[in-house]
Amino acid sequence: MPTMPYAADMAVLFGLALLAFWLYCLFDVITTPEEHVRNLPKVLWVLIVVLLITVGGLLWMLLGRPLPQQAHTPGGGAFGGGYGGSSGRRQQPSFRGPEDDPEFLRSLERRLRGEE
């Protein structure tokens, strides 16, 4: 019976895809804050993903990840910022540095005008 020449290549690609999926899930579990993990404690989710590999990753994606309204949006912005969804009130934007803080820029401008 003839073998398919690309079967070995497909097996390698499939294995690499599974490895990438597993690493993504492991990183996602580790970086998700404890208070947003669903159904089980975070430590248990890490063990499930590490020990069960593909099945653990699927379980994490379906049962353990935060719900979409709890998704992390780094730096705030239009989506309210951080974990936790919206509470019906507008949240203050989080500043990344002094050059992003309007109060700091106003005080800097006042100091510059005073020195001139």
Tokens for 56? 């653990």
- The reply to whether 12 falls in a domain is yes
- The reply to whether 102 falls in a domain is no
- The reply to whether 20 falls in a domain is yes
- The reply to whether 1 falls in a domain is yes
Q: What's the full length of the chain, in residues?
A: 116
- The reply to whether 42 falls in a domain is yes
- The reply to whether 83 falls in a domain is no
- The reply to whether 17 falls in a domain is yes
For 20-36, letters b (16+ CB in 10 Å) and e give eebeebbebbeebeeeb
First vs last C-alpha separation in the chain: 89
- Interatomic CA distance for residues 94 and 40, integer angstroms: 30
The predicted-structure confidence for 43-95, as pLDDT tens digits, reads as follows 999 999 999 988 999 999 999 988 887 555 454 444 444 444 444 455 566 65
Query: What is the chain's mean pLDDT, rounded?
Result: 78
Number of structural domains the chain divides into: 1
- The reply to whether 99 falls in a domain is no
Q: What is the pTM of this model?
A: 0.55
In the chain, % of residues over pLDDT 70:
72
What letter would DSSP give residue 107? H
- Interatomic CA distance for residues 66 and 73, integer angstroms: 12
pLDDT score, position 76: 43
- Residue numbers of the domain that contains 46: 1-68
